[in-house]
Amino acid sequence: MTDATLPPPDPGERLPTDDAQAVLEAAAAAVDAVAERVDADMDPLDVPRRLLLVHAHPDDETIGTGATMAKYAAEHARVTLVTCTLGEEGEVVVPELEHLAAGAEDGLGQHRIGELAAAMEALRVSDHRFLGGPGRWRDSGMMGTPANERPDCFWQADLDEAVHELVRVVREVRPQVVVTYDANGGYGHPDHIQAHRVTVAAVEAAADPAYAPEAGEVWAVDKLYWTAVPRSVLQAGIDQLKQSGQTDFFGVDSAEDLPFGIPDDEVTTEVDARAHLDAKAAALRAHRTQIAVDGPFFALADNVGHKAFGVEHFVLARGPRGAGDGPLGRESDLFAGLDLDARGGAAPIG
């Protein structure tokens, strides 16, 4: 499957992997190596650093934050992923699995549960959950499509219920740092927007002693981040593709024309997780129905690719900004500026 058909509908879902055989083999080896390791199943509160990520669909976590997740997991932080839908409406890029699509057998969601599990194994993240349980809310499809109207979709979710479900997770896991999308959901997908709304409300509610005592002991998150793709990174990708003769980078010439670039001076945090690119590449491959391994982007992989995929960016929305380093003064650690010993460090709370 060549990928001349990079669809405008869901650009954020379609980052490149490298289809060079050597890279595929390395990624496969990384998966195998991970599978042989045993995750220590620790009580979350025994782990000093705890990171919770709320994503909309299986694969969003890997595309936007996979290297970061692998990095913190490797550093023995507690990494928890909450995924809000099964991604039932995703476009299937593998011809032999097209029968799973929503417009055919509608079996994609179940299939993607397995893809996500494999991706989490590659990232070595053992705590991944679906908000309200698998299938509680359905993928809403792209904005303006009939799927938005289905009563079971996340876009139509009862916000109180969704927030309550997430508060239970926040109060259980007690993360100092929470990551989700900005108010536009990064690029306007209804489920990403809804993930933002639910997360912001849940972080507030979790800290409110008056809110749902049965949902667990009050927990105040220290830092809340949005995922971000700096415009300069997008532009570098566009330029690189042009040089390599590709012209279909979402059909635009300039990063200014894309709906999901963040002005560079708004990006507060840059996590360099290039050491975990193998894990991210393996996780991308695990999302097989969604990400074409021979897409046009793989031309990037040897150049800006490593930086584009291994360095992930964030905007600090709430909480203390840690000391920056580097020319742009960005934080390099999501936990920067936190006094972890004073706030539920090694000692379990409660």
Nearer CB in complex with Zn ion: 54/206: 54
Stretch that binds Zn ion, among 52-60, 104-112, 154-162, 245-253 (CB under 5 A): 52-60
Q: Are 300 and 69 in contact (CB under 8 A)?
A: no
Nearer CB in complex with Zn ion: 139/333: 139
Closest residue to Zn ion in the complex (CB) = 57
Cβ at position 60, least distance to Zn ion in Å: 4
Cβ at position 57, least distance to Zn ion in Å: 4
Positive or negative, the CA dihedral 1, 67, 318, 51 is: positive
Q: How far apart are CA 76 and CA 153, in angstroms?
A: 35
Site string for Zn ion, 6-45 (x = CB under 5 A): ----------------------------------------
Judged by CB under 5 A, does residue 56 bind Zn ion?
A: yes
* Nearest alpha carbon to residue 116 among 158, 168, 53, 74: 53
Nearer CB in complex with Zn ion: 12/344: 12
**Residue 187 in 3-state DSSP?**
coil
Cβ at position 298, least distance to Zn ion in Å: 21
Cβ at position 90, least distance to Zn ion in Å: 8
Stretch that binds Zn ion, among 49-57, 89-97, 98-106, 322-330 (CB under 5 A): 49-57
Nearer CB in complex with Zn ion: 57/168: 57
Judged by CB under 5 A, does residue 102 bind Zn ion?
A: no
**Which residue(s) pair with 227 in the sheet?**
314
Q: Which of 57, 112, 171, 223 binds Zn ion (CB under 5 A)?
A: 57
Stretch that binds Zn ion, among 55-63, 101-109, 120-128, 204-212 (CB under 5 A): 55-63
Using CB under 5 A as the binding criterion, the count of chain residues that bind Zn ion stands at: 3
Judged by CB under 5 A, does residue 60 bind Zn ion?
A: yes
Nearer CB in complex with Zn ion: 56/119: 56
Positive or negative, the CA dihedral 316, 320, 322, 323 is: positive
Q: How far apart are CA 137 and CA 179, in angstroms?
A: 20
Cβ at position 185, least distance to Zn ion in Å: 8
For Cα atoms 231, 322, 128, give the angle at the middle one, nearest 5 degrees. 75
Judged by CB under 5 A, does residue 171 bind Zn ion?
A: no
Nearer CB in complex with Zn ion: 165/191: 191
- Cα separation values, 140 from 84, 85, 102, 144, 246, Å: 11, 9, 11, 10, 31
Q: Are 121 and 31 in contact (CB under 8 A)?
A: yes
Cβ at position 189, least distance to Zn ion in Å: 5
Q: Are 265 and 320 in contact (CB under 8 A)?
A: no
Cβ at position 58, least distance to Zn ion in Å: 8
Cβ at position 191, least distance to Zn ion in Å: 6
Quick one: residue 131, left, alpha or beta (phi over 0 = left, psi -120 to 50 = alpha)? beta
Report CA dihedral (126, 15, 113, 217) to the nearest 10 degrees: 50
Q: How far apart are CA 252 and CA 231, in angstroms?
A: 13
Nearer CB in complex with Zn ion: 14/57: 57
* Nearest alpha carbon to residue 152 among 163, 144, 164, 141: 141
Cβ at position 98, least distance to Zn ion in Å: 19
Judged by CB under 5 A, does residue 116 bind Zn ion?
A: no
**Which residue(s) pair with 312 in the sheet?**
271
The DSSP output letter for 132 is T
Stretch that binds Zn ion, among 17-25, 56-64, 95-103, 132-140 (CB under 5 A): 56-64
Residues that bind Zn ion (CB under 5 A): 56-57, 60
